[in-house]
Amino acid sequence: MQELVIISGKGGTGKTSVTASFAVLADRPVVCDCDVDAADLHLVLEPTIRERHEFESGHEAVIRQNDCTGCGICQDLCRFGAISNNVDMFSIDSISCESCGVCVRFCPEGAIDFPLRRCGEWFLSDTRCGPMVHARLGIAAENSGKLVSTVRREARRLAEEENHSLIIVDGPPGIGCPVIASLTGATQVLIVTEPTVSGEHDLERVLSLTRHFQIPTAICVNKWNVNAEMTQQIENKARLAGASVAGRIRYDSSFTKAQIKKKTVVEIDAVCAQDIIEIWKNLNLQKE
Ligand code: SF4
Ligand code: SF4
């Protein structure tokens, strides 16, 4: 089974549009949206939800008002200022609670529950390209790295169960924990970048990450004709760092037009579609 992860140093490089186009070009892959903080692959692939699961991570302290005597010990002990007192009623702000468990342990009435914290949801869905695993992180919820790992694990399980030979992953932007979680075990990485100074800088950072994990890596420069010289410079740097150059995508306003139509650029009459098809071929996935 092959697992292609598409990442970028930051958001807004066209990564998700490229991922969605690959999903259309591939032969019924499992599609996996690991950009859980800003998931938008579903806007184009329009999944029909087959299964919905809660994502729980860590714990959250909750006071049972009926058992609380209002002694205030918990408020004195909480180092994170998560417990407040309004008209002799103590309550815990779930966003400020850092799950240390101190108040739970020392409440003399045993009046504080410590249930698992519900941080979001993950879904198993069907799309016109094949099955899709995606997720939604709750507001102010953390631990997107763990949610990314959950989504990838489920995508693999699904691929094995339903006999799919390829998983296409829309990775999170940046180089933090969620990106690392999306790269672990990948068989190939494509980095989508842009011909700007920040694009070049971000590329260097993600390249060092994929080199560290020893994953075969290719790059493509989106909107390459906006700055041909910078594109060349980025491609040279990528080659020196051991990555291959899968191709270039010209600037094309069809990206936005396709999004509005809830299509990928390879499904409409877009000039840049040829560039993406070329990159897809160069990645040489799904060999028979
Ligand atoms: S320590 Fe327990 S009893 Fe005292 S205020 Fe807090 S929740 Fe209520
Ligand atoms: S679990 Fe820790 S952080 Fe949360 S309210 Fe209790 S003492 Fe404060």
Residue 10 in this model has a pLDDT that exceeds 90? no
pLDDT confidence of residue 77: 97
Q: Residue 191 CB: number of other CB atoms within 10 A?
A: 27
Long-range CB pairs of 265-272, under 8 A, 24+ apart, other chains included: 265/17, 265/21, 266/21, 266/24, 266/25, 267/24
* Ligand 2 centroid from CA 78, angstroms: 5
Q: What is the CATH number of domain 2-57+120-283?
A: 3.40.50.300
Ligand lying closest to the C-alpha of residue 71: 1
pLDDT, position 132: 97
Decide which of 106 and 140 is more confident: 106
pLDDT of 208 > 70? The answer is yes
Q: State the Cα–Cα distance between residues 152 and 185, nearest whole angstrom.
A: 10
Instruction: Just give the CATH number of 61-114.
Output: 3.30.70.20
Q: What is the pLDDT of residues 126-155, one digit of tens each?
A: 999 999 999 988 866 666 788 889 999 999
Task: State the pLDDT confidence band at 173, using cuts at 50, 70 and 90.
Answer: confident
Best of 109, 113, 114 for a ligand 1 pocket test (most atoms within 8 Å of beta carbon): 109
Q: Each residue of 211-254: pLDDT tens digit?
A: 999 999 999 999 999 999 999 999 999 999 999 999 999 998 88
For residue 288, the model assigns a pLDDT of 45
Ligand nearest to the CA of 104: 2
Task: Rank 10-19, 83-92, 240-249 by mean pLDDT and report only the highest.
Answer: 240-249
The residue ranges of every structural domain in the chain are 2-57+120-283, 61-114
Query: Averaging pLDDT over each range in 90-104, 127-141, 174-188, which range is the top one?
Result: 90-104
Mark residue 286 as left, alpha or beta (left: phi above 0; alpha: psi -120 to 50; beta: remaining).
left
Whether residue 34 is predicted with pLDDT greater than 80 in this model: the reply is: yes
